[in-house]
Amino acid sequence: MTTVIHHTIHVLLALSLPPLLLGVIAKTKAQFAGRVGPPVLQPYYDLVKLFQKGSVYSTTTTWVFRAGPVVGLVTAALAVLMIPLANSSAPVSFTGDPILFAYLLGLGRFFTASAALDTGSPFEGMGAAREVTFTCLAEPAFFLGLLVLAKLSGTLQMGTMLGAAVAHHWSSAGASLALVLVSWFIVLLVENSRIPFDDPNTHLELTMIHEVMVLDHSGPAFGMILYGASLKLFIFGALIARLIFPPTNGDPWLDWPIFVLSTLAVAVMIGVIESTMARLRMTHVPVLLVTACLFSAFGIILLVR
């Protein structure tokens, strides 16, 4: 019975919290810039508004363009069911779940990028090319990090890999975990198109990655994209939060507020990075991603030496 309640909280929280992270990041950036900034709930207002709007579709497009946002959102929503939030088991949890998790997100990316190419716009083609290229380097970094956690926990189940034992591993294999943490944080930034990889607020389409891929979407479909993007941010934010603040206290109910606070802390951290760093030159992006791979790879070498 308690499992059912926990799983219900998991689903409700995972579906309702994500836009808040976008709001928190925006607020943090506004604070740094000395502005008041939009209210933290602004992303929710945007979503409601978008879902009620009419749409414009390019005559060039086919059903793939309409399927893109749907697949992107659904894969992110299913992936969110698989990550551990507060207490250690997610609603969907089995041996090898991180693999399905990563490939579900891959499916979403495949269709988002295909939808971009469906418009025939050169800008969206550029965005799609950048997105899939950078993923090629981010994916190995993520899997190398998984190797470290799998080696430490002896399982391939995210609930246990990121379970309470992580706190213990911080003292026994802290160096490896720190390397994975940095590597995965870089993966978070690139997967969610944040600075220093991509600036969601830039005015020039030529320099964008994710935003330029979705130029032609409008109305409810664009709302789905925005919501899907926030889900993805939440997913990676939650993974980082679990790495830094593993659920160590014995009370499973207390774990929920701790988790929410730690995820918001990650969002603030992203905001701080966005406010204090400039965007990298596009040609330097692969270098940083290879570094992320190497960090995780060193993490595993430290463990199996």
Partner 1 sequence: MTERLVLLALIIAAMSGVPGLLFHRNSTAGQWIAVLLSVASSSLGITGLGLFWALGDSQPITLPWRLPGAEFSVAVDGLSAIFLLPVFLISVLGNIYGLGYWNQTKHPQNGRKLRLFYGLLTAGMAVVVIARNGILFLFGWEIMALSAFFLITTEDDKKEVRNAGWIYLVATHTATLCLFAVFALLRAASGSFALVPFENHGIEPAMATTIFMLGLVGFGIKAGIMPLHVWLPSAHTVAPSHVSAVMSGVIIKMGIYGQFRLTSLLPTPPLEWGAIVLGLGAVSGVLGVAFAIAQHDLKRLLAYHSIENIGIILLGLGLALIGRSLGRADLIVLGLSGGLLHVLNHALFKSLLFLSAGSVIHGAHTREIDELGGLAKVMPWTAMCFLVGAVAICGLPPLNGFVSEFLIYLGLFGTLGQEGQVPFAGAAFAAAALALIGALAAACFVKVYGAVFLGVARSQHAQQSHESGPTMIGALSVLVACCFLIGLAPLLIVPILEMGIAAWAPDLNEKGHRIAALAPLNWITVMGLLLIATLLLVGMWLRARLRKGGVAATVTWGCGYMAPTPRIQYTSSSFAQMLVGLFGWALRPRMRQPTHMTLFPRRADFHSEVADTVLDKAILPTFRFGAWLFSWFRVFQQGNIQTYLLYIFVALIALLLWR
If we measure between CA atoms, which residue out of 238, 227, 195, 210 comes closest to residue 101?
Answer: 238
Q: Is 294 in the site for partner 1 (CB under 8 A)?
A: no
Beta carbon nearer to partner 1, 98 or 271? 98
Beta carbon nearer to partner 1, 140 or 252? 140
Question: For residues 260 and 17, is the Cβ–Cβ distance under 8 A?
Answer: yes
| Least distance (Å) between residue 211 CB and partner 1 | 12
Beta carbon nearer to partner 1, 40 or 226? 226
Phi, psi torsion values for 239, nearest 5 degrees:
-60, -45
Q: Is 117 in the site for partner 1 (CB under 8 A)?
A: yes
Q: Is 15 in the site for partner 1 (CB under 8 A)?
A: no
Q: Is 139 in the site for partner 1 (CB under 8 A)?
A: yes
Site for partner 1 (CB under 8 A): which residue of 9, 30, 67, 182? 67
Between CA 148 and CA 161 the distance in angstroms is: 9
Question: For residues 187 and 236, is the Cβ–Cβ distance under 8 A?
Answer: yes
Local structure of 40: helix, strand or coil:
coil
Site string for partner 1, 210-249 (x = CB under 8 A): -----xx--xxx--x-------------------------
Site for partner 1 (CB under 8 A): which residue of 29, 109, 194, 210? 109
Task: Name the segment binding partner 1 (CB under 8 A); options: 21-29, 133-141, 240-248, 259-267.
Answer: 133-141
Q: Is 143 in the site for partner 1 (CB under 8 A)?
A: yes
Between CA 141 and CA 147 the distance in angstroms is: 10
If we measure between CA atoms, which residue out of 126, 252, 250, 275 comes closest to residue 199?
Answer: 275
If we measure between CA atoms, which residue out of 22, 73, 42, 57 comes closest to residue 200?
Answer: 22
